[in-house]
Amino acid sequence: MPRIRIDLPPAFSFTTEMVITTQHINYRNHLDNAALISMVSEARMRFFESLGFQEADTEGAGILVADAAIQYRSEAFRGEVLRFEMAATEFTRVGCDLVYRVSSCSDSREVARGKTGIVFFDYATRTPVAVPAGFIARAAQ
């Protein structure tokens, strides 16, 4: 089976940092894969907030995660500060990809890269909706 390959954009429009805590560590004493997904979700929420939106309300639309892929590059450990860089790419009528890189702040070692496909969604009608114009204007910069 071929390995997942995620190409990074030339630049990221958003950066945030988080500390790996005891709750993020698995039985092998490094960052747990499920914990990384949770941290990426937090970074995504911060990305939306940096644009003046919330995941649950982006000009009236919420989001759904349609797909996700992660390419793990190196171990990370309790106490490390991780940098999460994110950019919106590959816009379609109803969604886009959020591509990210996770690296260690101490030595710039790449820990992971990934993408999350999101769809904008009207929870009242339970249907996908067009990507809000304000999101495109702010996120595509």
Half-sphere exposure (Cβ direction) of 22: Cα atoms closer than 13 Å:
0
Burial of 61 (0-12, 13-18, 19+ CB in 10 A): buried
pLDDT of residue 2: 85
pLDDT (0 to 100) of residue 136: 97
**Residue extents of the structural domains in the chain:** 14-139
Residues in the chain: 141
- Which of left, alpha, beta for 72 (phi over 0: left; psi -120 to 50: alpha)? beta
pLDDT of residue 39 exceeding 80, the answer is yes
In 3D space, the residue among 94, 40, 46 whose CA is nearest the CA of residue 68 turns out to be 40
Question: Please, are residues 64 and 55 in contact by the beta-carbon 8 Å criterion?
Answer: no
55-79 tens-digit pLDDT: 999 999 999 999 999 999 999 999 9
pLDDT recorded at residue 139? 96
Judged against a pLDDT cut of 90, whether residue 52 lies above it is answered with yes
Q: Determine the topology of domain 14-139 in CATH.
A: Thiol Ester Dehydrase; Chain A (3.10.129)
Query: What are the backbone dihedrals phi and psi of residue 83, each rounded to the nearest 5 degrees, phi first?
Result: -100, 130
> What is residue 121's predicted lDDT score, i.e. its pLDDT?
98
Portion of the chain with pLDDT greater than 90, in percent: 96
Report which of residues 127 and 3 the model is more confident about.
127
pLDDT at 141 over 90: no
Q: What mean pLDDT do residues 81-102 have? A: 98
The 3-state secondary structure of the chain, one letter per residue: CCCCCCCCCCCCCEEEEEECCHHHECCCCCECHHHHHHHHHHHHHHHHHHCCCECCEECCEEEEEEEEEEEECCCCCCCCEEEEEEEEECCCCCEEEEEEEEEECCCCCEEEEEEEEEEEEECCCCEECCCCHHHHHHHCC
pLDDT of residue 1: 79
